[in-house]
């Protein structure tokens, strides 16, 4: 049996550089009181020997855990996984977060935490005690849960709040929901649509209100009434079916609909198909999220691409660079989304076209 190759340790680095173990440890952990020339010498030995610092050893040094913890909603995440409907929120979190962590020598771990108030403090407390993260990323609705943000602030753990503009401790980041909704609505207006329906998401997510505000603002700027063009879903396919049915079965139905997520857009397509409405000939449709499924519908959906990976990457960067300042409240940082135009939008049909 082949012998296992001996791992390079901190002792090998110290011997190669001709310095003490304490000096190597201070260089690895970016500690003070190391002369630049000495730091360069140790770093040269690390690179020459191919030494990779052990996270466990770094944690034992006492300063940092080199872990970033991301929290996602347990109930909704598990439901999405079980349905296997093509959502890629967690994938995009991993893409942006893990790659940025790797640049800094960190690791990212995702934990699912229940949103119910009687569970939050116990579950989060257990995760923090076990992992001792250097920073925490909160996704909606956790990013606006005062029990969670209060616990992290009390323990002086730096954290980033994604999807919120609410005041409070931690770094707040949004994905420009209002601006993105305006882009989508403007696209439909420029095609000639005047009756543009909107399917909002649930009120528990503040981003739902921001998307609605963007649609309303753009419609108001065009001098258009929206009184009978608004309805609400809960981000599920079934709620999209109900909401689209309400809009499309009016005597004067909309010629276009902006739905607040992809699942509700798919529900809208189902209703349109059942009513004999061709997309985009009889109904233009724009979605939010741009998950993989919208590229394979017939026709492929025009959608707002949510910059999830970029936002989580920025959150990691803020946590690592600003981790010494847990009370980092300030104006929310916006990461801009983009409109991906596909085949589900077109100018409205002329009356003679049906």
* pTM of the model as a whole: 0.76
What CATH code is carried by the domain that includes residue 22? 1.10.260.40
So what's the pLDDT on residue 321? 84
Residues 55, 85 within the same domain: no
What CATH code is carried by the domain that includes residue 217? 3.40.50.2300
d(CA 71, CA 63): 23
Say if 329 falls within a structural domain.
no
So what's the pLDDT on residue 127? 83
Residue range 285-339, pLDDT digits in tens: 999 999 888 999 999 999 999 999 999 999 999 998 875 444 455 677 889 999 9
Residues 315, 284 within the same domain: no
So what's the pLDDT on residue 352? 47
So what's the pLDDT on residue 2? 42
d(CA 290, CA 139): 18
Say if 3 falls within a structural domain.
no
Ordered strands of the 338-340 beta sheet: 230-232, 196-200, 256-259, 284-289, 302-305, 338-340
Say if 333 falls within a structural domain.
no
Residue range 33-70, pLDDT digits in tens: 788 888 899 989 888 888 876 655 555 555 678 899 99
Residues 203, 347 within the same domain: yes
Residues 185, 96 within the same domain: no
Q: DSSP readout, 136-150?
A: EEE-TTGGG-HHHHH
Residues 163, 284 within the same domain: no
Counting the structural domains of the chain, the total is: 3
Sign of the C-alpha dihedral computed for residues 164, 167, 168 and 170 taken in this order? positive
Domain boundary among 43, 60, 77: 60
- The enclosing H or E element of 83 equals helix 74-83
Say if 274 falls within a structural domain.
yes
Which residue segment(s) compose the domain that 168 sits in? 67-175+308-323
Say if 119 falls within a structural domain.
yes
Say if 5 falls within a structural domain.
no
Say if 330 falls within a structural domain.
no
Residues 21, 55 within the same domain: yes
Residues 184, 152 within the same domain: no
96 Cβ contact partners less than 8 Å away, ≥ 6 residues apart: 308, 309, 310, 311, 312, 313, 316
So what's the pLDDT on residue 5? 46
So what's the pLDDT on residue 258? 98
So what's the pLDDT on residue 317? 92
Burial class (CB within 10 angstroms; exposed 0-12, middle 13-18, buried 19+) of 47: exposed
Say if 288 falls within a structural domain.
yes
Residues 117, 253 within the same domain: no
Residues 155, 226 within the same domain: no
Low-confidence ranges of the chain (pLDDT < 70): 1-6, 53-63, 85-86, 116-118, 323-330, 351-354
Residues 78, 104 within the same domain: yes
d(CA 273, CA 191): 22
Instruction: Read off the DSSP letter of residue 65.
Output: -
Residues 19, 32 within the same domain: yes
d(CA 39, CA 13): 12
Residue range 230-240, pLDDT digits in tens: 999 999 999 99
Residues 94, 193 within the same domain: no
């Amino acid at each position: 049996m082949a012998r296992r190759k001996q791992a390079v340790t901190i002792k090998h680095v110290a011997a190669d550089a001709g310095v003490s173990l304490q000096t190597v440890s201070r260089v690895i952990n970016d500690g003070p009181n190391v002369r630049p020339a000495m730091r360069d010498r140790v770093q040269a030995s690390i690179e020459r020997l191919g030494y990779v610092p052990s996270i466990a050893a770094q944690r034992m040094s006492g300063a940092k855990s080199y872990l970033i913890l991301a929290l996602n909603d347990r109930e909704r995440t598990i439901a999405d996984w079980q349905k296997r409907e093509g959502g890629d929120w967690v994938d995009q979190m991993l893409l942006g977060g893990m790659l940025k962590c790797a640049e800094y020598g960190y690791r990212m771990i995702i934990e699912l935490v229940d949103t119910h108030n009687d569970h939050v403090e116990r579950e989060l407390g257990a995760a923090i005690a076990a992992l001792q993260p250097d920073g925490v990323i909160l996704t909606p609705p956790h990013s606006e849960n005062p029990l969670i943000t209060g616990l992290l602030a009390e323990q002086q753990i730096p954290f980033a709040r994604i999807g919120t503009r609410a005041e409070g401790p931690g770094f707040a980041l949004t994905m420009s929901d209002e601006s993105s909704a305006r882009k989508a609505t403007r696209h439909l207006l420029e095609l000639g649509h005047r009756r543009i329906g909107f399917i909002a998401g649930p009120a528990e997510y503040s981003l739902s209100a921001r998307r609605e505000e963007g649609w309303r603002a753009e419609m108001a700027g065009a001098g258009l009434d929206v009184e009978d063009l608004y309805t609400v879903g809960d981000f599920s396919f079934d709620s999209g079916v109900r909401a689209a049915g309400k809009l499309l079965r009016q005597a004067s139905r909309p010629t276009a609909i902006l739905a607040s997520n992809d699942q509700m857009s798919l529900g809208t397509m189902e209703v349109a198909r059942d009513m004999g409405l061709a997309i985009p000939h009889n109904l233009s449709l724009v979605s939010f999220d741009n998950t993989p499924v919208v590229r394979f519908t017939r026709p492929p959906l025009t959608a707002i691409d949510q910059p999830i990976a970029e936002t989580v990457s920025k959150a990691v960067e803020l946590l690592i660079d600003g981790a010494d300042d847990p009370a980092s409240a300030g104006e929310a940082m916006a990461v801009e989304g983009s409109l991906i135009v596909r085949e589900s939008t077109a100018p409205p049909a002329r009356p003679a076209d049906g």
